[in-house]
Protein backbone atom coordinates (compact mmCIF):
# COMPACT_ATOMS: atom_id res chain seq x y z
CA UNK A 1 0.00 0.00 0.00
CA UNK A 2 2.91 2.32 0.73
CA UNK A 3 4.11 2.04 -2.89
CA UNK A 4 0.67 2.76 -4.33
CA UNK A 5 0.28 5.80 -2.07
CA UNK A 6 3.68 7.09 -3.13
CA UNK A 7 2.88 6.54 -6.80
CA UNK A 8 -0.43 8.37 -6.39
CA UNK A 9 1.43 11.30 -4.82
CA UNK A 10 3.67 11.24 -7.89
CA UNK A 11 0.58 11.28 -10.13
CA UNK A 12 -0.81 14.40 -8.41
CA UNK A 13 2.58 16.11 -8.74
CA UNK A 14 3.07 15.05 -12.37
CA UNK A 15 -0.43 16.21 -13.34
CA UNK A 16 0.45 19.66 -11.99
CA UNK A 17 3.84 19.72 -13.72
CA UNK A 18 2.42 18.85 -17.13
CA UNK A 19 -0.24 21.56 -16.78
CA UNK A 20 2.47 24.06 -15.85
CA UNK A 21 4.48 23.08 -18.94
CA UNK A 22 1.45 23.46 -21.19
CA UNK A 23 0.64 26.85 -19.70
CA UNK A 24 4.24 28.05 -20.04
CA UNK A 25 4.35 26.88 -23.65
CA UNK A 26 1.24 28.95 -24.43
CA UNK A 27 0.31 26.16 -26.82
CA UNK A 28 -2.77 26.40 -28.94
CA UNK A 29 -2.39 22.78 -30.08
CA UNK A 30 -5.90 21.46 -29.57
CA UNK A 31 -4.67 17.85 -29.61
CA UNK A 32 -2.36 18.47 -26.62
CA UNK A 33 -5.15 20.15 -24.71
CA UNK A 34 -7.48 17.28 -25.60
CA UNK A 35 -4.84 14.80 -24.38
CA UNK A 36 -4.30 16.47 -21.00
CA UNK A 37 -8.07 16.67 -20.53
CA UNK A 38 -8.24 12.96 -21.41
CA UNK A 39 -5.83 12.18 -18.55
CA UNK A 40 -8.00 14.07 -16.07
CA UNK A 41 -11.24 12.51 -17.25
CA UNK A 42 -9.78 8.99 -17.29
CA UNK A 43 -8.67 9.45 -13.66
CA UNK A 44 -12.23 10.43 -12.83
CA UNK A 45 -13.75 7.53 -14.78
CA UNK A 46 -11.65 4.98 -12.89
CA UNK A 47 -12.38 6.64 -9.55
CA UNK A 48 -16.11 6.44 -10.27
CA UNK A 49 -15.74 2.73 -10.95
CA UNK A 50 -13.77 2.21 -7.75
CA UNK A 51 -16.54 4.00 -5.87
CA UNK A 52 -19.16 1.70 -7.38
CA UNK A 53 -20.63 4.39 -9.61
CA UNK A 54 -21.18 4.41 -13.34
CA UNK A 55 -18.95 6.36 -15.67
CA UNK A 56 -21.07 6.62 -18.83
CA UNK A 57 -21.60 10.34 -18.24
CA UNK A 58 -17.92 11.08 -18.93
CA UNK A 59 -16.59 11.73 -22.41
CA UNK A 60 -12.93 10.79 -22.65
CA UNK A 61 -12.09 12.67 -25.84
CA UNK A 62 -13.46 16.21 -26.00
CA UNK A 63 -11.83 19.38 -27.23
CA UNK A 64 -11.02 22.04 -24.68
CA UNK A 65 -9.14 25.28 -24.43
CA UNK A 66 -9.56 25.72 -20.70
CA UNK A 67 -6.46 24.68 -18.76
CA UNK A 68 -8.06 26.12 -15.61
CA UNK A 69 -10.98 23.68 -15.88
CA UNK A 70 -8.55 20.78 -16.32
CA UNK A 71 -6.52 21.95 -13.32
CA UNK A 72 -9.68 22.03 -11.24
CA UNK A 73 -10.52 18.50 -12.37
CA UNK A 74 -7.02 17.29 -11.44
CA UNK A 75 -7.36 18.91 -8.00
CA UNK A 76 -10.77 17.35 -7.40
CA UNK A 77 -9.48 13.98 -8.58
CA UNK A 78 -6.51 14.18 -6.19
CA UNK A 79 -8.77 15.06 -3.27
CA UNK A 80 -11.16 12.18 -4.05
CA UNK A 81 -8.36 9.65 -4.60
CA UNK A 82 -6.80 10.65 -1.27
CA UNK A 83 -10.11 10.06 0.49
CA UNK A 84 -10.57 6.75 -1.31
CA UNK A 85 -7.04 5.50 -0.53
CA UNK A 86 -7.21 6.54 3.13
CA UNK A 87 -10.35 4.43 3.53
CA UNK A 88 -8.87 1.45 1.70
CA UNK A 89 -7.37 -1.48 3.59
CA UNK A 90 -4.48 -3.36 1.98
CA UNK A 91 -6.60 -6.51 2.01
CA UNK A 92 -9.09 -4.75 -0.29
CA UNK A 93 -6.55 -4.32 -3.11
CA UNK A 94 -7.50 -7.74 -4.48
CA UNK A 95 -11.25 -7.05 -4.30
CA UNK A 96 -12.85 -7.41 -7.72
CA UNK A 97 -14.79 -4.50 -9.18
CA UNK A 98 -17.54 -5.04 -11.75
CA UNK A 99 -17.99 -2.17 -14.18
CA UNK A 100 -18.76 -1.35 -17.80
CA UNK A 101 -16.36 0.30 -20.21
CA UNK A 102 -17.32 3.62 -21.78
CA UNK A 103 -18.80 1.62 -24.67
CA UNK A 104 -20.85 -0.55 -22.28
CA UNK A 105 -18.74 -3.73 -22.31
CA UNK A 106 -18.78 -5.42 -18.87
CA UNK A 107 -15.47 -6.11 -17.10
CA UNK A 108 -14.23 -7.32 -13.75
CA UNK A 109 -10.87 -6.04 -12.48
CA UNK A 110 -9.12 -5.89 -9.10
CA UNK A 111 -8.76 -2.62 -7.22
CA UNK A 112 -4.97 -3.08 -7.44
CA UNK A 113 -5.02 -3.37 -11.23
CA UNK A 114 -7.36 -0.40 -11.59
CA UNK A 115 -5.06 1.76 -9.48
CA UNK A 116 -2.04 0.63 -11.49
CA UNK A 117 -3.92 1.46 -14.70
CA UNK A 118 -4.58 4.99 -13.44
CA UNK A 119 -0.93 5.44 -12.49
CA UNK A 120 0.53 4.12 -15.74
CA UNK A 121 -2.04 5.58 -18.13
CA UNK A 122 -1.37 9.18 -17.12
CA UNK A 123 2.39 8.73 -17.30
CA UNK A 124 2.11 7.33 -20.82
CA UNK A 125 0.15 10.35 -22.03
CA UNK A 126 2.35 12.86 -20.17
CA UNK A 127 5.24 11.41 -22.18
CA UNK A 128 3.31 12.03 -25.39
CA UNK A 129 2.64 15.62 -24.34
CA UNK A 130 6.30 16.18 -23.46
CA UNK A 131 7.42 14.85 -26.83
CA UNK A 132 5.05 17.20 -28.63
CA UNK A 133 6.26 20.14 -26.51
CA UNK A 134 9.88 19.33 -27.43
CA UNK A 135 8.98 19.14 -31.11
CA UNK A 136 7.35 22.56 -30.78
CA UNK A 137 10.55 23.95 -29.16
CA UNK A 138 8.78 24.31 -25.81
CA UNK A 139 10.15 23.18 -22.46
CA UNK A 140 8.90 19.71 -21.46
CA UNK A 141 8.01 18.90 -17.86
CA UNK A 142 10.32 16.49 -16.05
CA UNK A 143 7.72 14.06 -14.68
CA UNK A 144 9.78 10.91 -14.06
CA UNK A 145 9.05 9.20 -10.76
CA UNK A 146 12.70 9.50 -9.70
CA UNK A 147 12.55 13.27 -10.12
CA UNK A 148 9.57 13.30 -7.76
CA UNK A 149 11.26 10.91 -5.32
CA UNK A 150 14.32 13.17 -5.08
CA UNK A 151 12.27 16.12 -3.81
Rounded distance, CA 16 to CA 32, Å?
15
Number of domains in the chain: 1
In a domain, 59, yes or no: yes
In a domain, 33, yes or no: yes
- Residue span of the structural domain in which 41 resides: 2-85+95-145
Query: pLDDT tens for residues 85-101?
Result: 999 999 999 999 999 99
In a domain, 111, yes or no: yes
In a domain, 58, yes or no: yes
In a domain, 7, yes or no: yes
Environment class of 7 (CB within 10 Å of its CB; exposed 0-12, middle 13-18, buried 19+)? middle
In a domain, 150, yes or no: no
Query: pLDDT tens for residues 5-48?
Result: 999 999 999 999 999 999 999 887 899 999 999 999 999 999 99
In a domain, 79, yes or no: yes
For residue 26, what is the domain's CATH number?
Answer: 1.20.120.450
- Predicted structure pTM score: 0.95
Rounded distance, CA 23 to CA 141, Å?
11
Amino acid sequence: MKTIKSMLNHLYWADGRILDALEASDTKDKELLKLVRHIAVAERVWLSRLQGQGSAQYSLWEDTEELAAIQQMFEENAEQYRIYIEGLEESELDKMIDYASQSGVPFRTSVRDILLQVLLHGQYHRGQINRALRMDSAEPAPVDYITFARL
